[in-house]
Chain A
C-alpha cells in the first residue's frame, strides 16, 4: 500500500494490462497452430489481425510505465515491478509476432493436402511451449517464485523436442522432394515455437527478479542441438 492511492492504481493497471497481453498472446499461438493443423485460413487471418492489439498494448505499457517513473520516482520493489512490466510486455509482443509469423505460413503449407503426421510433432511442441508460457504467467499472478523450478526442465524438453522435429522434417524432405516446400515452412514454424519457449523462460527470469530482487542463476544449459544435426543421403538416392 502506498500513501498515494493513485500509485497503487497505476501499478495495478500495468499488471492488468500485462495479463491481458499474456492471454492474447497465448490465444494467438494456440490459434496459429490450430489453423495449421486444421487447414483453417480464416483463423490464420484472425491471428494476423490480432497482432495489432498486442503491439498497441505494448506501446501503452511503455508509455504508462515511463509516466509512472517520471511522476512517482519509485524505488526498490516498485521500480522492479515497473521495469519488469516493460520487459515482460516486450517478450509478449515478440511471442505475438512469432505466432503471427506461423499464421502467415498457413496458406503456403496447406496449399496442397499434407499428411497428418507432418503436424503431430508441431502440435506436441506447441503444447509444451504453451504450457511453459501459461505456467510462467500463472507465477506472475501468484508470485509463488519458489515453484519456478519447472521452467528449466521444460525448456530442455522443448529444445530436445525441437531437435527431434528438425531431424524428422529433414527425413521427410529426403524421402520426397515434393515435401520440401511444406517442410521448410514447418521448420520455421517449429523454430518460432521454440523461440516462444525461450521468451517464456525470459519472462520467468523477470518475474523472479521482480519478486526477489535477485537474478536467476545464469547456468542455462542449451539443449538445442539442431545446429549439429546432419542426415546422410541414403544409398538409393545417390
Chain B
C-alpha cells in the first residue's frame, strides 16, 4: 500500500506538462484575460503579450507547486508508515516466543517459527499436521479448524516425553479467506510443574529421609539405654549419626536442585559454551577432594576452545556430579581420566566428554538403571550417595538433547561418556 503511495508521489513530480496545464487551466485563462485586458488598455505590443502568456504557461507546466518543506514532510510521513506495512509476517512470527505453526487448508504445515522448531524438532515444514500431533485432543482441534468450526477453540495439550510440557493450544483462521490457519502454543508447564514439584518433593523426601531418620532414632535409643556409660561406643555411634545427618542434608540439597531444574525453562537457542573451560573448571574445583581421596585426575583436552550448545551452569553440574562419583566409587583405582574430544557423530558432529575411573566398575544388570531416581547399585553405595546424582545428570542432558552412555565391566572401572551436540 505504501509502495503504491510512494510511486504515486514520484509520478506526480514527473507528470506530463499537458496534465499540469490542464490542472492550471482556470489560472491560465484568468492570466490570458488579464494580459489581454492590460495590453488592450495600455495599447502595448501583442507580441509581448503572447510572450508573457507563454512564460506563465511554462511556469505552470514545469515549476514545482509545493514548497520544499511540504515535500520533506510528505516523505517523512511515508517513511514513518513504511516499516509496519512492509513488516513480513514471517519476521513477526519469528519474534513471538511461543511456538506458532501456520498450516494450510489441507492440514500441511507451511511455516513454523523458530520457537516451534526448538520445541517440536526441526523437520516441520511440509509435514502433515495431523501426523505430527497425534494426541486425540489435538486431532480433534485440527479437524475442527480444517472444517471451519474451530473459531477460537482451545485445548490443553500435554507432551510427557522426552521432557514434560503442557500447552494451551488455540487454532485460528488467518485473515479472511486466506485458506491458512495458525496454531499457537501457550506454555502452561510452569503452573503444572509447580504443583507436581510440590507433590513429588514431599513424596520423595518423606520416603528417602525415613531410613536415615530411623537409624538415628535407633542410635539415640541405644545411647540413652545400654550404651549410656560406654565412651567408645558413644563416639562410634555419634560418628555414624553425624554421617547420617550429613547424608540427609545432601539429600535435601539434591532434591531441591532437581526440583529447581524441572522448573526452569529450556536451554535458550544460540547459547554456547566452551566445554574445555567447563571441564577444566570442574577438575580444579574438585582437585582438593581428589587429593584427599588419593586420586589423581588426568586431563586430556584438545588445544583451543571446543564450543557446544548449552548452559554453563547446568553442564558444570553434570561434570561435577560425574567426576565426584568417579572419585567416590573409583577411589581404589587411584586415578580418574577426564577426556574431551570431537567426534564425527551422525547426523551432526558432536563432542564427547568421558569421565573414566579404574575402580571396581558397575555390574551389567545395574548399568541401564543407574540414572533412575533413588536407584542404588548395591547396599554399600547407599551409604555414600543420595541416589539422585546421576538422575540430575540425565535430566540436564535430556534438556540439552545430549546422551549419556555408560561402559563398564566389573573390575575394570567405569566410563561415563556424555555426547553433546557441537555448537
CB 8 Å contact bits of A119-135 with B (1 = contact, 0 = none): 01100100100110010
Which residues on the A side are within 8 Å of B106 (C-beta)?
A: 12
Chain A nearest CB: distance from B142 CB in Å? 10
In the complex, are the beta carbons of B131 and A121 less than 8 A apart? no
- Bound Cα distance from A117 to B376, whole angstroms: 11
User: Bound state CA distance, A12 and B347, in angstroms?
Assistant: 29
Q: Which residues in A have their C-beta under 8 angstroms from that of B347?
A: 146-147, 149
Across-interface contacts of A23 in B (CB, < 8 A)? 133-136, 138-139
B365's partner among A20, A24, A140, A164 (CB-CB below 8 A) is: A164
Max count, chain A CB within 10 A of own CB: residue among B124, B135, B138, B368: B368
How far in angstroms is the closest Cβ of chain B from A11? 11
Q: For the side of the interface on B, what is the size category?
A: 20 to 34
A42 located at the interface, meaning its Cβ lies under 8 Å from any Cβ of chain B in the complex: no
Compute how far the CA of A94 lies from the CA of B178 in the bound complex, rounded to whole angstroms: 42
Q: A217 to chain B: closest CB distance in Å?
A: 15
Pair A15/B128 contact, Cβ less than 8 Å:
yes
From A19, A30, A117, A149, contact of B131 by CB (8 A): A19
- Bitwise, A1-41 to B at CB < 8 A (1) or not (0) is 00000000000100110111011101100100000000000
Contact between A26 and B369 (Cβ–Cβ < 8 Å)? no
| Chain A residue nearest in CB terms to B366 | A164
Residues of A with C-beta under 8 A to B128: 12, 15-16, 19, 141
Q: Are B136 and A19 in contact (CB under 8 A)?
A: no
Q: Which residue of B has the minimal Cβ distance to A162?
A: B368
For B124, the closest partner residue in chain A by CB is: A142
Q: Is there an interface contact between A20 and B130, defined as CB atoms closer than 8 Å?
A: yes
**Is B367's beta carbon under 8 Å from chain A?**
yes
User: Is B161 in contact with A19, judged by CB distance below 8 angstroms?
Assistant: no
CA distance A157 to B369 in the complex (A): 10
Q: Let me know if A167 is at the binding interface, CB within 8 A.
A: yes
Known: A19-B130, A127-B161, A141-B131. A27 touches B369 (CB 8 A): no
B207 touches A26 (CB 8 A): no
- How far does the Cβ of A22 sit from chain B's closest Cβ, in whole Å? 5
Q: Which B384-418 residues have C-beta < 8 A from chain A?
A: none
Query: For A18, what are the chain B residues with a Cβ–Cβ distance below 8 Å?
Result: 131
Q: Is the CB of B136 within 8 A of A131?
A: no
Tell me the bound Cα distance from A127 to B203 in angstroms: 20
**By the criterion CB–CB under 8 Å, are B375 and A120 in contact?**
yes
Give the A-binding residues of B (Cβ under 8 A): 106-107, 121, 123-124, 127-128, 130-136, 138-139, 160-162, 203, 207, 346-347, 364-369, 372-375
- List 17 A-B pairs, Cβ < 8 Å: A16-B107, A19-B134, A20-B136, A23-B138, A24-B134, A26-B134, A26-B135, A30-B160, A116-B203, A120-B373, A130-B161, A131-B161, A141-B132, A144-B123, A149-B347, A160-B367, A160-B368
The chain A residues found within 8 Å of chain B, CB to CB, are: 12, 15-16, 18-20, 22-24, 26-27, 30, 116-117, 120-121, 124, 127, 130-131, 134, 137-138, 140-142, 144, 146-147, 149, 157, 160-161, 163-165, 167-168
